[in-house]
């Protein structure tokens, strides 16, 4: 793959043969942010699990202490008094029938969809549309709930949903390059600690195999897996 001069210049900042501590990685990842926009700082963790087996699927939610820095658009599908609760909590879109039709017609200008249990019989029919986009409400991720006010506020404050992909990798944004180092560090620690606590009982051998940081447009920075895990214990 042909790399730009900018990317090759950034690559020179990273020692490809070295594995960095978490704090070193955070400092370096900020230096590799040189795009003309506020790049996201992304964390990738490769796990020793087989996602094809239901009992080794790693998924969950986590509220990052300092959020992701991204403005999250939230749709709440509900009826009755819960609609007002969602609006007061700051949901961008609230309703039911009109949004069901919009989604069927291809609309998906949202980042998170929250629904109350009483409407899931209808929302479930949108699985083929919302599922591939990662927008399908799910009780395990807290997006099917009667407490829509709290759910909206948590998502807006920086709660993220994650799941391991078919290659055994979890990939999330933990903030923006403009964040101070200590905020990125705390967000990273919180996320990694959450993944550690979700280790499936059936997972054998080494659970966390590698950890890396990068910006949206920058090179990957390998972290010292053992040092990171020791620091969190």
Give the tens place of pLDDT for each residue, 109-151: 999 999 999 999 999 999 999 998 889 999 988 899 999 999 9
Helix boundaries (H) for the chain: 5-11, 22-31, 82-89, 97-104, 120-123, 127-130, 148-157, 181-197, 225-232
Q: What is the DSSP secondary-structure string of 100-123?
A: HHHHHTT----SEEEE-GGGHHHH
Q: Give a yes or no: residue 3 inside a domain.
A: no
Q: Decide which of 115, 140, 156 is a domain's last residue.
A: 156
Same domain, 62 and 165: yes
Question: Of 136, 156, 176, which marks where a domain is finished?
Answer: 156
- Does 171 lie in the same domain as 224? yes
| Assigned domain for 166 exists | yes
Residue 152 and residue 79 share a domain: yes
The pLDDT mean for the chain works out to 92
**Helix, strand, or coil (residue 11):** helix
43 CB neighbour count, 10 Å cutoff: 25
The more confident residue out of 158 and 193 is 193
Task: Give pLDDT, residue 158.
Answer: 85
Q: What single-letter DSSP state applies at residue 77?
A: E
Task: Give the pLDDT confidence score for residue 178 in this predicted structure.
Answer: 95
Output the domain CATH number for residue 88: 3.40.50.790
Q: Residue 157, class by beta-carbon neighbours within 10 Å (0-12 exposed, 13-18 middle, 19+ buried)?
A: middle
Residue 181 lies in a domain: yes
- Residue-level pLDDT at 12: 79
Total domains, the chain: 2
Whether 76 shows a pLDDT value over 90: the answer reads yes
- Inside any domain, residue 7: no
Phi and psi at residue 123, in whole multiples of 5°?
A: -65, -35
Of 109, 138, 156, which closes a domain? 156
For residue 45, what are the domain limits?
15-68+159-232
CATH number, domain of 191, equals: 3.30.190.20
Of 193, 18, 186, 38, the closest CA to residue 28 belongs to: 18
């Amino acid at each position: 793959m042909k790399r730009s001069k900018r990317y090759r210049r950034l690559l020179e900042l990273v020692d490809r043969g070295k594995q960095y501590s978490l704090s070193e990685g955070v400092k370096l990842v900020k230096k590799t942010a040189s795009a003309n926009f506020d790049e996201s700082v992304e964390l990738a963790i490769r796990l020793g699990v087989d996602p094809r087996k239901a009992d080794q699927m790693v998924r969950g939610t986590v509220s990052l202490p300092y959020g992701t820095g991204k403005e999250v658009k939230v749709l709440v599908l509900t009826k009755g008094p819960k609609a007002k609760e969602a609006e007061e909590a700051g949901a961008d879109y609230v309703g039911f029938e009109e949004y069901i039709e919009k989604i069927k017609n291809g609309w998906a200008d949202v980042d998170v969809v929250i629904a109350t249990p009483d409407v899931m019989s209808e929302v479930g029919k949108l699985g083929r549309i919302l599922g591939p986009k990662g927008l399908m409400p799910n009780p395990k991720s807290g997006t099917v709930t009667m407490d829509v006010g709290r759910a909206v506020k948590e998502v807006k404050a920086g709660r993220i949903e994650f799941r391991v992909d078919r290659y055994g990798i979890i990939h999330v944004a933990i903030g923006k390059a403009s964040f101070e180092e200590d905020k990125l560090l705390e967000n990273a620690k919180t996320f990694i600690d959450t993944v550690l606590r979700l280790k499936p009982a059936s997972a054998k051998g080494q659970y966390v195999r590698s950890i890396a940081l990068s910006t949206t447009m920058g090179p990957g920075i390998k972290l010292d897996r053992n040092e990171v895990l020791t620091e969190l214990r």
